[in-house]
A and B are shown apart, each in its own frame.
Chain A
Amino acid sequence: MAVVRPDYDYAPRGRKDAARHREKVKEAIRKNLPDIIGEEAIITRKEKQIVKVPIRGLKSYHFIHGKTKGVGGGFGSGESKKGKVIGQRPKEQGKGGKPGNEPGVDYLESEIELEELVQMMLDDLGLPNLKQKEVRETVIPKGWTFNSIEKTGIKPRLDKKRSIIEAIKRREILIGRLMNETGRSREECEAVLDAEGGNLNRALELLRGGEPVKEKSDFPFITLDSSDLRFRTVKEDVEYRSNAVVIAMMDVSGSMDSMKKYLARSFYFWLLSFLKTIYKHVEIRFIAHTTEAKLVDEHHFFHKGESGGTFCYSAYDLAIELIDTEYPTERWNVYPFHFSDGEDWEAERTVASLKKMMERGIACFGYGEIQTDYSSSVLMHAFRDNLPLLSIGKDDLVYLEGRWADSPFLGVVIRRKEDLYPALRVFLHSDKNKAG
């Protein structure tokens, strides 16, 4: 049998080229971030689960035939009847159906950790290495605290206990010396020393003179000398915190359809992901409102709709209450965000409430207006007319930004899924600048 020895180099190249492919996949992801962040799979993840985003292997493009009907298909064999379901194929990122009969080649699924994806987005947004802990900390004064013990000080800070301890120590030393030098018993030395008010020389004389010793009192007589005195020093006490809370508010009245909620949901998801990279501790609370506002859980927030009109101030007032009771701005970086379709029956009162909220010293107020062709946009107009705002246009996106530091306002209009990414970019940039 002609078995040949290899006449080529065995050096493995598969792994090297596979690495190159992965590199290209990442590059493709980076280019398609706007698409990917809108993906349902990322947003509807279960809490505390490791999230992996399925990414398709890169396709090798060439001319191929399309389909006459359906999105894809092919041939197969095995027991079957017309209409029998033979399986499912998960959807790919982006658009485009399965082409022709190409066997599997184009459908390699590789995975990327969510964390890596977030980091890539940060890189792309020009905020590199935020994760390498440029943690944003808040310093909270807690009044005064005692620091150390000194021998001098003012009377109110006298540490009585420590001073007495010093005095007892001194007395013990003196008694020891008396016993050594006179050879009398401990009881005698104690009695004489106490009787003489702690005076060592007098006690020595008396004991050496062989004088009989008076009855010892039941309690030791402690004398305080100035050298025994101890005083406390104080310093200012502070606490370091790295807390942020997102107060998510949303209009859940009938006009907010599931697509609008989906956009809001995407935005909140990414907002939280980013804040988690800057703060050690991030919380989110949900306020759903129609004409009335109430605190709800996440599921309720995104999935339950209610009928009724729209008073946005109701949500803002509840947010203020929440800030005052649970998230004081000295301890928390508060990010109230509000999504609506622009409808508001009492816009003036809403503006007033917002001003009140800003007075609390919040980190940033975000307003996202999800517009469709039929949106009224009452609220955005009200904000623009009543607050000191700058209108800025960038990357096809027009947004409003607070002119002064005491009006940390950011308003964006979102029309489609594609607007999410620029909107996030705007938010992160302004937030970053404020911090830096």
Chain B
Amino acid sequence: MKGPDPERLKEADKLIQEIARDFGLDFMPQEFDIVPAQKMLEITAYRLPVNFSHWSFGRDYEMERTKYDHGFAVPYEVVFNSDPCRAYIMETNPFPIQVMVMAHVYAHNDFMKNNRYFQYSRRDMITSASEAASRFRRYEEDYGLDDVEKLIDAGMALQWHLEPLDKSYQETEEEARERLYGWKKEPAGGGEFDDLLPENRQITREEKMELRKKTPPEPTVDILGYIIEHSPKRFREWERDVLGVIKQQAQYFIPYRRTKIMNEGWATFWHEKIMQRLFNEKFLNPEEHGFYNLYNSRVKSHNPRMINPYQLGSAIFKNIEDRWNKGRFGPEYEGCEVAWQKEKWDAGLMKGREKIFQVRRTYMDWFFLDEFLNKEIIDELNLYVYREEDKGLYYEEIVDEVDWEKVKKALVRSLMHWGVPRILVVDGNYQNNMQLYLVHVFEGLPLHDEYCRKTMEYVYYLWGRPVYLETREFHDGGTRKVLYIADENGVSFHR
């Protein structure tokens, strides 16, 4: 299929920018790279336009390729949080779809420019990954594919265990130690709230000695970072580089993971509005608009086995806008017990637009759903929880829960900490023997045994000394402590 007319695309781009600005969207300069399907599939699988080689990316590529070849899942666009913002769009998409994608991209652009969790990401990741790819290729030549691959395997297993960069200031280990010693920093110019700061507690000599030896000074979720700095294996330069790049990329993608539903919802919410305007202004003819409508309904279609972030996110933003327009919030509204009054509630507040812009600036999925997902939305979209039951030769997938409060609770829980179990490095010198002691913070769900064992092998590979992981399992209606130990004999499990 031949791509659309570039002149008309340019015109569309100009119009979209005007409309988007008019709506109040605030975006970075935007670049589009129109690429063939093959490249598009690679970007989806490799996460970045050019990235280092790894079998897992190859596997994902093959999977994307298969889905594409069979006509499922045509990739529309990939947008990177860079400055200028870079979007990759598919060469072969027909004109109305290309216009929709562009409108969608401008809303993503606005989201990444303004959402607080994207503020501390490096914006040169495309180049940085491309450079890393060539360095890794050299490492493969110099140190052998197997060694490099093994290290990447292990690093990627721990990539999401890190402290997200959502503070402008990152404390070093030494600074944390000083803070724990209780050495008060000079207050920044005698502020008016100084009296609220904790009193300087006297710390004993013993405590100080204890603290000086302690590593990490306080528990940290940054497992990979801690291993890079403190592993008894003493990594060589290239090994530190490989692990560092993996950590850096994960750090870059964490904001995406934390705002998937919001980000896609926001972009869908706005592309619908922009497309409507383009049709009203007669830039799109009815046939093109009809074509777009068909595709748009597919974008927002139900998925029986997965949350569709386009669908859910845009539904929540719509709901918020509507509620704040009509003033359907606050104690007065919540407290209203007359059904028909509540039904017809409209205080004519018209604060909806303002509210959604504020939400897109300060929330992430976890809090977004916790605060704004309500019965109305869950019933409208028919959200449910399903479970799998062992039926001998196959698993049967059965709808397990449709009660809105329970569905919401489970969904919100799955979004905590970007969906990754919280595991802390508690001691890097356990039993004074350079052993690593990890603790899983139990928040209602145990760890997946098979995955846990394999991952422990990787941690041991990186640490080179015995590794302990303390977690809990269900037992007798409650839970009890269990321990995984990884050492030269493999991974063992202790109750």
Judge whether A82 and B400 touch: CB under 8 Å: yes
Checking B62, B304, B447 against A77 with a beta-carbon cut-off of 8 angstroms, the contacting residue is B304
B128 to chain A, nearest CB (A): 12
Of A5, A60, A64, A77, the residue contacting B382 (CB under 8 A) is A77
| Inter-chain contact A74/B305, CB cutoff 8 Å | yes
Contact residues in A for B474 (Cβ distance below 8 Å): 68
Provided the pairs A62-B157, A66-B446, A105-B60 are in contact, do residues A72 and B388 lie with their beta carbons within 8 angstroms? yes
Say whether B306 contacts A75, CB under 8 Å.
yes
**B contact residues around A75 at 8 Å (CB):** 306-307, 383-386, 407, 410-411, 414
Within 8 A of A (CB), among B22-64: 29-35, 38-39, 41-42, 45-46, 49-50, 53-63
Q: Is B311 an interface residue (CB 8 A)?
A: yes
Q: What are 15 A-B contacts with C-beta separation under 8 Å?
A: A3-B34, A6-B33, A8-B126, A10-B39, A14-B42, A16-B53, A16-B58, A17-B55, A19-B58, A21-B56, A62-B455, A68-B445, A83-B398, A85-B398, A105-B60
Chain B residues in the interface with A (C-beta under 8 A): 6, 9-10, 13-14, 29-35, 38-39, 41-42, 45-46, 49-50, 53-63, 65, 84, 86, 126, 130, 156-161, 302-308, 311-312, 381-391, 393-402, 407, 410-411, 414, 419-421, 423, 440, 444-452, 454-455, 458, 474
Q: Is A361 an interface residue (CB 8 A)?
A: no
Give Cα distance in the complex from A391 to B13, angstroms: 82
Among B54, B385, B448, the most chain A Cβ lie within 10 Å of the Cβ of: B448
**Taking A68-B474, A71-B388, A81-B399 as contacts, is the C-beta distance between A8 and B130 under 8 angstroms?**
yes
Contact in complex: B397, A73 (CB < 8 Å)? yes
Query: Other than the known A9-B50, A14-B42, A101-B414, what 20 A-B pairs have Cβ atoms closer than 8 Å?
Result: A4-B32, A8-B130, A13-B46, A17-B53, A58-B55, A60-B56, A62-B158, A66-B448, A70-B400, A73-B387, A73-B388, A74-B386, A75-B306, A76-B302, A85-B397, A86-B304, A86-B305, A86-B399, A87-B396, A90-B394
Docked pose: A12 CA to B35 CA in angstroms? 13
Does A104 sit within 8 A of B, measured CB to CB? yes
Identity of the chain A residue whose Cβ is nearest the Cβ of B459 in the assembled complex: A63
* Contact in complex: B56, A91 (CB < 8 Å): no
Q: B6: which A residues are within 8 A, CB to CB?
A: 3
Give the shortest distance, in Å, between A226 (CB) and chain B (any CB): 83
Report the minimum CB–CB distance from A57 to chain B (whole Å).
Answer: 5
Beyond A75-B385, A85-B396, A90-B394, whether A61 also contacts B451 by CB under 8 A is: yes
Asked whether A405 is an interface residue with its Cβ less than 8 Å from the other chain, the reply is: no
Interface 1/0s, chain A 81-102, versus B by CB < 8 A?
1111111111100011111110
Contact residues in B for A16 (Cβ distance below 8 Å): 53, 58
In the complex, A89 Cα to B6 Cα: how many Å?
44
Inter-subunit contact A61/B59 (CB<8 Å): no
- If A62-B157, A87-B397 touch, whether A77 touches B308 (CB-CB below 8 Å) is yes
Say if the beta carbon of A103 comes within 8 Å of chain B.
yes
Q: Residue on A with the closest CB to B137?
A: A13
Which chain A residue has the least Cβ–Cβ distance from B395?
A89
A58 to B58, CA, bound (A): 11
Asked if A108 is at the interface (CB within 8 A of a chain B CB), the reply is yes
The 5 closest A-B pairs by CB, nearest first: A17-B58, A14-B61, A78-B302, A1-B13, A70-B387
CA distance in complex: A13, B452 (Å): 31
Q: Is A80 an interface residue (CB 8 A)?
A: yes
Dominant SS at the A interface?
loop
Name which residue of chain B comes closest to A107, CB basis: B63
A435 within 8 A of B: no
Q: How far is the CA of A108 from the CA of B14 in the complex (A)?
A: 42
Once A17-B54, A18-B59, A66-B448 are accepted as A-B contacts, the answer to whether A77 and B38 lie under 8 Å apart by CB is no
Q: B420: which A residues are within 8 A, CB to CB?
A: 62-64
Whether A79 is near chain B, meaning CB under 8 Å from some CB there, is yes
| Inter-subunit contact A91/B447 (CB<8 Å) | no
A4 and B31: CB pair below 8 A? yes
Q: A104 and B395: CB pair below 8 A? A: no
Interface 0/1 of A309-323, CB less than 8 Å to B: 000000000000000
Q: B156 to A80, Cβ gap below 8 A?
A: no
A72–B382 alpha-carbon span in the complex (Å)? 20
Is B33 within 8 A of A1, CB to CB? no
A104 and B42 contact, CB distance less than 8 A: no
Nearest chain A CB to B167 CB, angstrom units = 24
Find B402's partner among A62, A72, A82, A91 (CB 8 Å cutoff): A82
Q: Are B58 and A18 in contact (CB under 8 A)?
A: yes
Q: CB-CB < 8 A to B423: which residues of A?
A: 63
Provide the residues of chain B in CB contact with A18, threshold 8 Å. 58-59, 61-62, 65
B445 contact from A3, A9, A40, A65, Cβ within 8 A:
A65
Once the chains are docked, how many angstroms separate the CA of A7 from the CA of B450? 42
Collect the chain A residues with CB atoms within 8 Å of residue B84's CB.
2
Residues of A within 8 A of B160 (CB): 62
Task: Name the distance in Å between B26's Cβ and chain A's nearest Cβ.
Answer: 18
